[in-house]
DNA sequence: GAATTCATATTGTTGAACAATCATACCTGT
DNA sequence: ACAGGTATGATTGTTCAACAATATGAATTC
């Protein structure tokens, strides 16, 4: 297990700082899916009290990264096939809803262009980890086209869950690679204001991506 | 202030039971919007320890019914115009997405029919409070057409927030009344499998409802 | 080998204590 | 009188220790 130092003082409370740190570890796949997290043990590892860790657990449980079972403790979520399918259903509804509300010249659209180009650069260098991060940001920007903080919040939840899935797969490194060009293409279509075409491209992207994730999941878990 | 007895032992933990009880009170408008909730005071009112109440606050904060400000405490949320607009944007995206995925003979559709008729009955008796509750259930059932637990969860959040708005309005009693017939009509359209027509009806419903809520909000606050 | 009982460990909850931070009233100086 | 700073008091953030309630696992019994 990696070092669990949380000396890096984030703004806000200690519980939030630990939650943020633990979130990173979870998404990085440092914990096994389904693993039970003992309050005493984890509190010791993060050097916080049990009460504070409980608040951390509540935080991460509400973000669907942990699962709380009464009188049994908290466990790392283990997303299965159904979860992935559901996640992509949410993505489809929300992202299509956002794209359909696109107005030309929206700052989020400019951000999508920048991120799309950054992804191309990162992939040319072979930094697949960063490609994944940028890709996530790209899709977050897409949802921000809807100018809806609540839709963005909901989307962030499923995206975090999806990142957890990626982290739990072993070879997820260049799982995003084929979609860099699709993203760039989508940006152009949106900048031209061709909404229906953009929706079709998005649907194609989501379908391919979902299949890829499901395949990788079945390959590793069976 | 009303009695805060939480003797009714729900299943699950005490914190969850208190959170459920407090949720009811919040939605019933028993707390003023923007009101500060002192840990010591509220813990005393619910007869739980401060630590337990903190977990309750975390729960309700993650449900967007309370707002937590670091080192300042938690406050009852005070949804403004922008919040209502955003809530209806989420409703539009999610409910339209669900309706578009409707398959004939879905159990949720049958449930919508039942609820629509129950609403008609309740309104004929003049039980507006129940009309509101049934109406909420009706729309929840609509989202369940999508067979997506995550979309349902997200929808439940915004619906709870909307109920909080209703609770904070004083004359929100028969705010749902004009929509009983629209709901019944929408059920018929869906049962006939005419998805596009149903989407149009839903859009009309949401637009009218949003305007009604915004008007009531400005009447009472602005 | 299956079911029951008992012992152990973990979670759920409480109360008290202290540090850190914020709000308020008071005071000072010009 | 007023702006600014300071001290005081109250509230939140965090930790610790203890106990009750519940689940886990092993030993026992049939």
Are B105 and B213 in the same domain?
A: yes
Taking the C1' atom of D15, which residue's CA lies nearest? A49
CA distances (Å), A173 to each of A162, A213, B17, in order?
A: 14, 12, 43
**Whether the predicted pLDDT of A2 surpasses 60:** no
Q: What is the mean pLDDT of residues B36-62?
A: 97
Q: Is A67 on the interface with B (CB under 8 A)?
A: no
Segment B196-206, tens digit of pLDDT: 999 999 999 99
CATH of the domain at B152: 1.20.120.530
Rounded distance between C-alpha atoms, residue A188 and residue A183, angstroms: 9
Among the candidates B76, B94, B119, a domain finishes at B76
Rounded distance between C-alpha atoms, residue B168 and residue B33, angstroms: 7
Residue range of the domain that includes A162 = 81-221
Are B94 and B114 in the same domain?
A: yes
Residue A9 counted as domain residue? no
Tally the residues of chain B.
222
Q: Is A94 on the interface with B (CB under 8 A)?
A: yes
**Whether the predicted pLDDT of B1 surpasses 60:** no
Q: Which residue of chain B is at minimal alpha-carbon distance from A50?
A: B51
CA atoms within 13 A on the CB side of B152: 14
pTM: 0.93
Are B66 and B104 in the same domain?
A: no
Closest CA to A211 of A182, A158, A175, A185: A175
Q: Which residues contact A166 (CB under 8 A, 6 or more apart)?
A: A27, A29, A132, A172, A175, A213
Distance, CA of A90 to C1' of C11, in Å: 34
Q: Is the CB of B38 under 7 A from strand C?
A: no
Are A122 and A177 in the same domain?
A: yes
Nearest to A13 among B12, B55, B70 (CB): B70
Q: What is the mean pLDDT of chain B?
A: 92
Among the candidates B61, B76, B91, a domain finishes at B76
Q: Do B90 and A151 touch (CB under 8 A)?
A: yes
Provide the shortest C-alpha distance from residue B115 to chain A (in Å): 25
Provide the shortest C-alpha distance from residue A110 to chain B (in Å): 23
Rounded distance between C-alpha atoms, residue A192 and residue A114, angstroms: 16
Q: What is the mean pLDDT of residues B63-77?
A: 97
Q: Which residue of chain A is at minimal alpha-carbon distance from B64?
A: A150
Closest CA to B148 of A91, A157, A151: A91
Rounded distance between C-alpha atoms, residue A74 and residue A63, angstroms: 13
Q: Which residue of chain B is at minimal alpha-carbon distance from A151?
A: B90
> Nearest nt (C1') to B69 (CA)?
D12
Segment B114-171, tens digit of pLDDT: 999 999 999 999 998 899 999 999 999 999 999 999 999 999 999 999 999 999 998 7
Residue B1 counted as domain residue? no
**Whether the predicted pLDDT of A193 surpasses 60:** yes
- In the structure, what pLDDT confidence band is assigned to residue B182 with cuts at 50, 70 and 90? very high
**What pLDDT shows up at residue A170?**
79
ipTM value: 0.92
Are B181 and B205 in the same domain?
A: yes
Q: What is the mean pLDDT of chain A?
A: 92
Closest CA to A185 of A138, A129, A132: A138
Are A59 and A166 in the same domain?
A: no
Total structural domains in chain B? Answer: 2
What residues of chain B lie within 8 A of the CB of A162, using their CB? none
Segment A101-125, tens digit of pLDDT: 999 999 999 999 999 999 999 999 9
Nucleotides of chain C touched by protein CB (<7 A): 10-17, 20-23
Are B116 and B192 in the same domain?
A: yes
Closest CA to B181 of B97, B136, B125, B123: B123
Structure tokens at B134: 């049934």
Residue A145, judged by CB atoms within 10 A of its CB (0-12, 13-18, 19+), counts as buried
CATH of the domain at A43: 1.10.10.10
Residue A59 counted as domain residue? yes
Structure tokens at A194: 């061709």
Closest CA to B98 of B198, B30, B3, B167: B198
Structure tokens at A218: 């079945």
Residue B27 counted as domain residue? yes
Are B95 and B70 in the same domain?
A: no
Only one residue has tokens 């969860």, namely: B153
Nucleotides of chain D touched by protein CB (<7 A): 11-17, 21-24
């Amino acid at each position: 297990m990696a070092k669990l130092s949380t000396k890096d003082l984030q703004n806000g409370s200690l519980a939030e700082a630990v939650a943020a740190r633990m979130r990173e570890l979870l998404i990085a796949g440092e914990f096994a899916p389904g693993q039970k997290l003992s309050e005493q043990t984890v509190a010791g590892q993060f050097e916080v009290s049990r009460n504070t860790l409980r608040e951390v657990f509540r935080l991460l449980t509400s973000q669907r990264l942990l699962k709380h079972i009464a009188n049994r403790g908290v466990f790392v979520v283990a997303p299965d096939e159904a979860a992935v399918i559901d996640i992509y259903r949410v993505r489809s509804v929300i992202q299509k809803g956002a794209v359909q509300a696109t107005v030309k010249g929206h700052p989020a659209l400019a951000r999508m262009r920048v991120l799309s180009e950054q992804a191309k650069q990162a992939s040319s260098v072979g930094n697949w980890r960063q490609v994944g991060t940028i890709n996530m940001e790209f899709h977050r920007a897409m949802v921000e086209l809807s100018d809806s903080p609540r839709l963005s919040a909901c989307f962030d939840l499923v995206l975090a869950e999806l990142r957890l899935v990626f982290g739990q797969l072993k070879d997820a490194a260049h799982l995003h690679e084929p979609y860099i060009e699709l993203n760039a293409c989508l940006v152009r279509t949106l900048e031209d204001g061709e909404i229906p075409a953009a929706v079709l491209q998005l649907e194609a992207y989501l379908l391919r991506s979902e299949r890829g994730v499901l395949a990788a999941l079945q390959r590793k878990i069976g």
